[in-house]
A and B are shown apart, each in its own frame.
Chain A
Amino acid sequence: MTSRRRTTGFLLVGLLVALVVAGIGSYYASSSPDGLEWSAEKEGFLDTAEDSATADSPLADYSVSGVDDGRLSGGLAGVIGVAVTLVLAGGITLLVRRRHDTADEHADADAGPPPTSRS
């Protein structure tokens, strides 16, 4: 019980760090082109990039459309991204995980004790 509570506390701290990084820290990220973009420009194939089919997404380029304040818009986009990623990845891993305990319980229940008395 305490072990489970300790794990929950640890996970909550991790989530808080992720939310702070995405929601606040990301505003201070370097806006210089990243390694791939820089290389593509230097070697002259950046112009072969095409707009993504999702370029009109309300969250495109990590800003929330309709929110004008850059800090708020980017921070909100980051928080939404963290939440969606957590739910999707957490959902998949919860579905995939082993459930030995419940499986064993079912196996025991199925086997059951032999009937010992008949009245």
Chain B
Amino acid sequence: MCNKVDVVHVPDGFLDAPTSVATGVLAAGTVALALRKAREELDERTAPLAGLTAAFVFAVQMMNFPVGAGTSGHLIGGALTAVLVGPWTAVLCMTVVLLVQAVLFADGGLTALGTNVTLMALVAVGVGYGLFRLLVAVLPRTRTGFLIGAGVGAFASVPLAALAFVALFAAGGVADISLGAVAATMGGIHVLIGLGEAAITVVVLGAVLAARPDLVHGAAHLRSADALLRRPEVVAPR
């Protein structure tokens, strides 16, 4: 068997049943809330972009990149998606990606689906978008400030999602091993993977911002600041 592509999300078995049920409930609640909140982010123009963004994240998650020491990493895409189409829509997009991967491609366990949604649709999106918002509020209202905010958010989202996994492992890990060691190993390698996450996020957002700044959810402040305003007719009414 030659498995060129080996994206690994949390498989079945790592976490005990109560922990998996708890993350399942948390994930379901988050998705239910997102289904209501995403309405405010989606209109005729942005809904197709959201579908495309999910498909794009699925594709790029297949592209494992080497991070040295015989290890690889892949994009999560939580920060990228949230900045592009809005955080609640990003929860839905990421959940669809994880669902398709788990059901069709056996990537990430079925009983671990709630865990993977919690880590990548909730923690990665929340951390990535939260940090992005924080940074664009204090950075200059420019294209560069926007990309720095998105890049830092994307970077931090990866080790923090990894540490969230360690927290779940502490609560319900099946194996009896040193948590400090797991945290150091998971956190360390995911700092490196986070650099790749930031690079991909900045390149993609830079390209979309150059082509269609009016479609980028997180760039509304640039449009109102007149920095990128070239198509006054498509600016959303306030």
Contacts and interface: CB of A to CB of B under 8 A. Distances in A.
A7 B213 CA distance: 12
Contacts of A83: 55
B100 A84 contact: yes
Contact of B14 (A6, A31, A49, A91): A49
B105 A22 contact: no
Contacts of B67: 35
Nearest to B34: A96
Interface residues of B, number: 87
Interface string B75-116: 000000000000001001100110111111111111000000
Nearest to B189: A35
B74 to A, nearest CB: 6
Contact of A21 (B60, B182, B211): B60
B35 interface: yes
Given A50-B11, A74-B5, A84-B104, A36 B54 contact: no
Contact of A48 (B38, B100, B174): B174
- The SS class assigned to the A binding surface is helix
B10 interface: yes
A93 to B, nearest CB: 4
Interface residues of A, number: 70
Contact of A86 (B12, B52, B234): B52
Which of A26, A85, A88 gathers the greatest number of chain B CB atoms within 10 Å? Answer: A85
Nearest to B56: A18
B96 A70 contact: no
Question: 8 shortest A-B CB distances, which residue pairs?
Answer: A90-B51, A89-B54, A50-B13, A45-B175, A22-B59, A97-B42, A30-B72, A86-B55
5 contacts: A25-B62, A26-B62, A54-B103, A62-B5, A96-B92
Interface of B: 1-14, 35, 38-40, 42-60, 62-67, 69-74, 89, 92-93, 96-97, 99-110, 162, 165, 173-175, 177-178, 181-182, 185-186, 189-190, 192-193, 211-212, 215, 231, 233-234
Given A35-B189, A96-B42, 9 more contacts: A18-B55, A22-B62, A25-B63, A38-B70, A44-B175, A48-B14, A57-B103, A90-B55, A92-B92
